[in-house]
Amino acid sequence: MHRTTWRYTARAAMLAAVLATGSLVFPATTHASHAQVNMDVTLSVYTCCGSLEGFNDSDPTHLFSIHNIYAPIWSKKYPGLKWKETLVNDQAQLETKLTLAVNSGNPPDMVFIQGGYIGDAVVRKLAQPLDQYFKNIPASYFLPGMVSWARFGGHWWAIPAVSGPLAGQLVYVPKYMTPLGYNNSNLRTFNDLYNMSKKAVKFDSAGNLTRIGYWPASGLTANVFETTGTLMCPPGHGLYNTANQPTATDPCNVAFLTYLKKLSDLYGGYTKISKFISGDPDIWSGSPKTYMATGKGLITPSANAYWSITPFDNFTWGIKGGLDYQLTPIPPSIDGKLSTAANFPSTQQEIIIPRGAKHPDQAFLASKLICWDYGYLLGPSTNGSPVAKDQERWLQAFIAGEAAARKKAGLSGNPAASLEGIRMQPLLARNSKAHLPINPVEPYYQEQLSRAATRVLLGQQSPEAALAGVQRLVLNREKQLASQYGSWNW
């Protein structure tokens, strides 16, 4: 989920070829006119954790800073608009900073929200309802998941900003995968990935892990449960039910945690696999020693989305001509079906306008211009457009970005143009009705899941017992939140 800093900053810093404006700019979409709003203001914006950033970053090597993408458009549309950006390190710190700012009467005008923090921000009265701005905008204008993530409890609470469109596909190198007998036809389910990993795993004479097949997470963070874990579940099941009530003990969550334990045991236990993964320079480093370049890891944690092809289009890994790569057409799941892939969230980033913001009208118009009217221009940065009808435009911009990257790196061709997992992005995005959690208990829920999963993988607790404990804690936390902030109706 585009919620990780390495994805944005590595992509922005590694490219040094500007795409021709004519190949990317299309006529902007329009909604009701707001000509009466004075845009000669300085908007304060909080960014965080791999969100869109760089509102004042004019460094020409940072091609995908927001400034470098949109400054030519701003100069024509809103020539007097200026920005004050505050970059925050993580979502928890962001919420603390925002709480202090709102309570002191000096909030920013815009805040980028990711993960499961939107419900918490709303119930704490950090975000203001935005219904007035959506009166002439039909919900069908956006991808379904983006709507459900931003509009709940009878109000629009956020501005849909960045979609997946849909992540979860896996990148691999045929050079290492083909000898094991695996390809896109038989890397479709979790069982496929386990069986491939059984063939791939190797240890040295001292019992140290030297090669793995698949491992989904460098740490048991929220990402693995909110995203990969959903693919073990049928639509309507997972961490929450259709009424957004916590369901940690849902059998599919038990199955996912059981699967992680089984995979961990295959690699000699959680301690060994954690140590092994910690030594990987990671594909975004471009290091020739990264496990996917050397074959020590066939599908490593960072190879978990369509955007993970980007390092292969930017680096040669010390190999003439670089490495050929492949991408699974859809996210592998419990049954390998397209219908199950729709359970993967299509949501990445949204923007709230805090209560007490000094320039709410201007913040909305600036957000609309960036994320809706010209959101497809984010294609080369791999951030997705939230606008339903612009998915094909975004796709072409993404493919053009990969072509430019390969040309700059001295690599021939453009595999992205023919990969099924790339070409299917508009379909996958529209099919997904899933979104990241909106229940205010979500940040606490993820903390408890991470702790419980660690205990399970270390053999200290069974998946059933661990998740039952999480369910009790989370339901109790819900009651505490309701007592402190009032109940909610979503």
Q: How many domains does the chain have?
A: 2
Q: Is 486 part of a structural domain of the chain?
A: no
Question: Identity (one letter) of the amino acid at 448?
Answer: Q
Q: Is 473 part of a structural domain of the chain?
A: no
Say yes or no to pLDDT of 6 above 60: no
Q: Is 15 part of a structural domain of the chain?
A: yes
Last residue in a domain, options 388, 408, 423: 423
Say if residue 122 is in the same domain as residue 249.
no
Say if residue 212 is in the same domain as residue 65.
no
Cβ(67)–Cβ(56) below 8 Å: yes
Say yes or no to pLDDT of 222 above 60: no
pLDDT of residue 211: 98
Last residue in a domain, options 284, 309, 341: 341
pLDDT of residue 2: 46
Say if residue 306 is in the same domain as residue 367.
no
Give Cα 278 to chain centroid, integer Å: 21
Say if residue 315 is in the same domain as residue 370.
no
Residues 201-215 have a mean pLDDT of: 97
Say yes or no to pLDDT of 331 above 60: yes
Alpha-carbon distance 270 to 260, whole Å?
Answer: 9
Say yes or no to pLDDT of 385 above 50: yes
Say if residue 217 is in the same domain as residue 357.
no
The CATH number of the domain holding residue 289 is 3.40.190.10
Q: Is 228 part of a structural domain of the chain?
A: yes
Last residue in a domain, options 321, 341, 361: 341
Q: Is 435 part of a structural domain of the chain?
A: no
Give Cα 136 to chain centroid, integer Å: 29
With vertex at residue 150, the alpha carbon angle to CA 331 and CA 382, rounded to the nearest 5 degrees, is: 45
Say if residue 72 is in the same domain as residue 95.
yes
How confident is the model over 67-117, as pLDDT tens digits?
Answer: 999 999 999 999 999 999 999 998 889 999 999 999 999 999 999 999 889
Residues 350-358 have a mean pLDDT of: 98
Alpha-carbon distance 455 to 442, whole Å?
Answer: 20
Alpha-carbon distance 411 to 325, whole Å?
Answer: 13
3-state helix, strand, coil in the chain (%, to 5): 45, 10, 40
Residue of higher predicted confidence among 94 and 34: 94
Say yes or no to pLDDT of 1 above 70: no
Closest CA to 325 of 306, 349, 342, 343: 306
Say if residue 244 is in the same domain as residue 359.
no
pLDDT of residue 26: 33
Say if residue 337 is in the same domain as residue 350.
no
Q: Is 450 part of a structural domain of the chain?
A: no
Alpha-carbon distance 411 to 396, whole Å?
Answer: 19
- The pTM score is 0.91
Confidence tier at 223 by pLDDT (50, 70, 90): confident
Alpha-carbon distance 368 to 150, whole Å?
Answer: 14
Count of alpha carbons within 13 Å of 408, Cβ hemisphere only? 19
Alpha-carbon distance 62 to 298, whole Å?
Answer: 30
Q: Among all chains, which residue has been given the structure tokens 């700019």? A: 25
Alpha carbon separation from 281 to 89, 212, 224 (Å, rounded): 21, 15, 20
Residue of higher predicted confidence among 142 and 16: 142
Say yes or no to pLDDT of 197 above 50: yes
Confidence tier at 30 by pLDDT (50, 70, 90): very low
Cβ(334)–Cβ(233) below 8 Å: yes
Question: Identity (one letter) of the amino acid at 155?
Answer: H
pLDDT of residue 3: 39
- Label the pairing between strands 42-48 and 82-88: parallel
Q: Which residues, in sequence order, are CB contacts of 206 under 8 Å at separation 6+?
A: none
Mean pLDDT check: name the lowest of 1-5, 115-119, 272-276, 456-460: 1-5
Say if residue 282 is in the same domain as residue 361.
no
Q: Is 196 part of a structural domain of the chain?
A: yes
Say if residue 239 is in the same domain as residue 157.
no
Say yes or no to pLDDT of 10 above 50: no
pLDDT of residue 9: 43
Q: Which domain holds residue 254?
A: 171-341
Cβ(145)–Cβ(165) below 8 Å: no
Residues 163-180 have a mean pLDDT of: 97
Tell me the percentage of the chain whose pLDDT exceeds 70.
Answer: 92
Q: Is 74 part of a structural domain of the chain?
A: yes
Confidence tier at 13 by pLDDT (50, 70, 90): very low
Instruction: Classify residue 284 by its DSSP letter.
Output: G
Alpha carbon separation from 319 to 166, 297, 311, 377, 432 (Å, rounded): 30, 17, 14, 32, 38
Say if residue 130 is in the same domain as residue 193.
no
Q: Which residues, in sequence order, are CB contacts of 135 under 8 Å at separation 6+?
A: 32
Q: Among all chains, which residue has been given the structure tokens 């118009």? A: 365
Say if residue 351 is in the same domain as residue 336.
no
